[in-house]
Amino acid sequence: MRYFFFLPAWACLCLLLLTDNYLQAQTNTSWTPDNGDGTFKNPLMWGDWPDPDIIRVEDTFYFVSTSMHYVPGCPVAVSQDLVNWKMAGYAVPRYEEDPRYNLEGGNMYLSGSWAATIRHHNGLFYVGFCTPDMDGRKGHFSMCTAKNIEGPWTRTIFPEYLYDPGLFFDDDGKVYVAHGQQKLFITELNSDALSVKTPRREIYDNRDYPYLEGSHMYKINGKYYILGSTGGTKGRQVCLRSDNVYGPYESKVVIKDDHSYPGNGLHQGGMVQLKNGDWWFIIMQDRGPIGRVPNLEPVTWVDGWPMLGVNGKGVDTFPKPGIGKSYPVTVPATSDEFNTGTLGLQWQWNHNPDDSKWSLSRRQGYLRLYAGKARQLADARNTLTQRVEGPYSEGTVSLDLSGLKPGDVAGLGVFQSPSAYVGVRCKGKNKELIMVNNDSTVTVLPYTASKIWLKAMVQEKDFTAAFAYSKDGQHFRTIGNALKMGLGLDWTANRFALFLFNTDMTRPESKGYADFDWFRR
């Protein structure tokens, strides 16, 4: 099946401009849902922010997502108006429970944090998530707590496995987690929400709702509501309702719509009430290799059921939530000049980093990566990543190669499975420019300069990524062939990646390093 897209004028400016096989400088603007006229458009964030949940604390909204094997985990974003968002931090600094999170003795791809839940109670933020079974290792549930959303966070690992959890504080002081897949359960926690009080009790099982999951729980006007997703990627959103926390529950489909991305329905997310009494829902939609993308939907109560969107359809453009104030356009950060003591919050490492092999202080204004041993990019520690975006996004990096040693490979990639990258490899006393696609070297060119500028360009419309390089930072030449982006690592999107690793397994540990001056979007 072929899809034809007619791009708005701003997107056309972002298309590749080729002249004599050179790529000219262009403007790349991050996606924003704020139309600047009191309305917004979906998607809310056109990137991989899966399994959303949301709360309001006074005048501020907090959004949590999950991030599998990327570190730090469980990104938390903040907004004043539900439309304009920025990063606030992460609930999980790193994963310490298995050496495979350090890429030692294996890997933990697709493990880590799944389906996060966020709540605020008695002055504490709570973020819970599940970690699924991996290679015979029993899954578990984690609860992270912090007084401030920026952290520091304290993580407690439960021996119990609560799949796709929805944390709920009842008004009688009891604490529950709704969880499960198709068969749903309620597990009561102790009052501090840091351990299980009573074993799980099954509350619902309906074969008409296969893979019913992603439960989030609420109490509204004396009734208990559990909202979850059924049908996976093609899904729909279901609401369960009962007068008792343990049921029986009646059910209703509250949205079944895929018009904005045919074949993939709106499914799984969280609901929040404004101060004025209005309700809104943030719900995700799978958009292939770009990721699981959140949409913002109004909620209309009909006969006691929260119906999403308008007339059964998700909204494309709609008036912004009525919070009574206007806020400036804000989007999560992307570019980083590496001139402060900390990485921008947009960055996540592939698995736990080796903190002895990266630095923002060894050379002021640069990110320095030191080379570790790896046969391919997927095995390399200290690969630094951030989301790609639709409908078009590009990342450009300035890289100093002076510190490379024989066997080192440094560069810029688009990371998933398959991955592709453009980089410079040190071979003996010489350097060579290479483009690698799906672990196969496509192009090899001699390269003698000590600096290089690299660019990766991602198109959402056909899920391709192209690569280019420059010797002066102004004129870019395309290299190699296009990556057909895929999802070999299920449920995670493609990402821009900065990396350095050493492929020569016959030599001692490399003392090479690469200095990244900046990354710009």
What pLDDT, on a 0 to 100 scale, did the predictor assign at position 507? 83
Predicted pLDDT of residue 136 = 64
148 and 230, same domain (yes or no): yes
For 395-464, the DSSP string reads: EEEEEE-TT--TTEEEEEEEESSS-EEEEEEEETTEEEEEEEETTEEEEEEEE--SEEEEEEEEETTTTE
Q: Is residue 337 one of the residues assigned to a domain?
A: no
Q: Is 49 exposed, middle or buried (0-12, 13-18, 19+ CB in 10 A)?
A: buried
pLDDT tens track for 459-498: 999 999 999 999 999 999 999 999 999 999 999 999 999 9
Average pLDDT over residues 230-246: 96
189 and 282, same domain (yes or no): yes
User: Which pLDDT band holds residue 16 (cuts at 50, 70, 90)?
Assistant: very low
Residue 249 scores a pLDDT above 80: yes
Q: Which has more pLDDT, 336 or 9?
A: 336
Are residues 352 and 410 both part of a single domain?
yes
Beta-carbon contacts of residue 38 (< 8 Å; ≥ 6 apart): 319, 320
Query: If you average pLDDT over residues 149-153, what whole number do you get?
Result: 97
Is the distance from CB of 502 to CB of 510 less than 8 angstroms?
yes
3-state class (DSSP) for residue 378: helix
Backbone torsions φ then ψ of 100, nearest 5 degrees = -65, -20
- In-domain check, residue 16: no
| Domain stop point among 301, 319, 337 | 319
Summarised one tens digit per residue, pLDDT across range 304-344 is 999 999 999 999 999 999 999 999 999 999 999 999 999 99
Q: According to the model, what pLDDT value does residue 442 have? A: 97
Instruction: For residues 69 and 125, state if they share a domain.
Output: yes
Same domain membership, residue 437 and residue 295: no
88's tokens: 């606030």
Tell whether 269 and 314 lie within a shared domain: yes
On whether both 258 and 171 belong to a single domain, the answer is: yes
Integer Cα distance of 36 and 33 in angstroms? 9
Residue of 224, 65, 193 lying closest to 122 (CA atoms): 193
Q: What is the pLDDT of residues 156-190, one digit of tens each?
A: 999 999 999 999 999 999 999 999 999 999 999 99
With 0-12 / 13-18 / 19 or more C-beta atoms within 10 angstroms meaning exposed / middle / buried, residue 464 is middle
Q: What is the CATH number of the domain that holds 469?
A: 2.60.120.200
* pLDDT the model gives residue 9: 37
Question: CB-based contacts of 39: which residues, under 8 Å, 6+ apart?
Answer: 317, 318, 319, 320
Positions marked catalytic: 51, 213
Query: How many Å apart are CA 500 and CA 521, to the nearest integer?
Result: 20
User: Cβ(140)–Cβ(131) under 8 Å?
Assistant: yes
Q: Which CATH number is 51's domain given? A: 2.115.10.20
pLDDT, tens digit, 9 for 90 and up, residues 385-442: 999 999 999 999 999 999 999 999 999 999 999 999 999 999 999 999 999 999 999 9
Range of the domain at 391: 348-520
The DSSP annotation for 206-231 comes to: -TTSTT-EEEEEEEETTEEEEEEEES
**Average predicted confidence (pLDDT) for the chain:** 93
The verdict on residue 12 lying in a domain is: no
Same domain, 368 and 230: no
Q: Which of 347, 371, 343, 346 is nearest to 357 (CA)?
A: 371
Residues 440, 420: Cα–Cα separation, whole Å: 9
Last residue in a domain, options 319, 335, 364: 319
Number of domains in the chain: 2
Segment 13-38 mean pLDDT? 60
At 259, the amino acid letter reads H
Number of alpha carbons in the 13 Å side-chain half-sphere of residue 442: 18
Taking the C-alpha atoms of residue 234 and residue 29, their distance in angstroms, rounded to an integer, is 30
140 occurs within a structural domain: yes
- What are the C-alpha distances in Å from 20 to residues 13, 155, 171, 478, 483? 19, 55, 68, 10, 22
| 169 and 212 both lie in a single domain | yes
In a domain, 303, yes or no: yes
DSSP single-letter state for residue 9: H
Phi and psi of 150, rounded to 5°? -75, -10
Q: Is residue 335 part of a domain?
A: no
Residues 309 and 352 in one domain: no
pLDDT at residue 25 greater than cutoff 60:
no
pLDDT band at 12 (very low <50, low <70, confident <90, very high): very low
pLDDT over 50 (residue 21): no
The 10s digit of each residue's pLDDT in 341-381 is 999 999 999 999 999 999 999 999 999 999 999 999 999 99
d(CA 16, CA 219): 51
Q: Does residue 385 share a domain with residue 281?
A: no
Q: What is the pLDDT of residue 28?
A: 54
Q: Is residue 381 part of a domain?
A: yes
What integer is the mean pLDDT of 230-237? 94
Could you tell me if residue 413 is inside a domain? yes
Shared-domain flag, residues 293 and 246 = yes
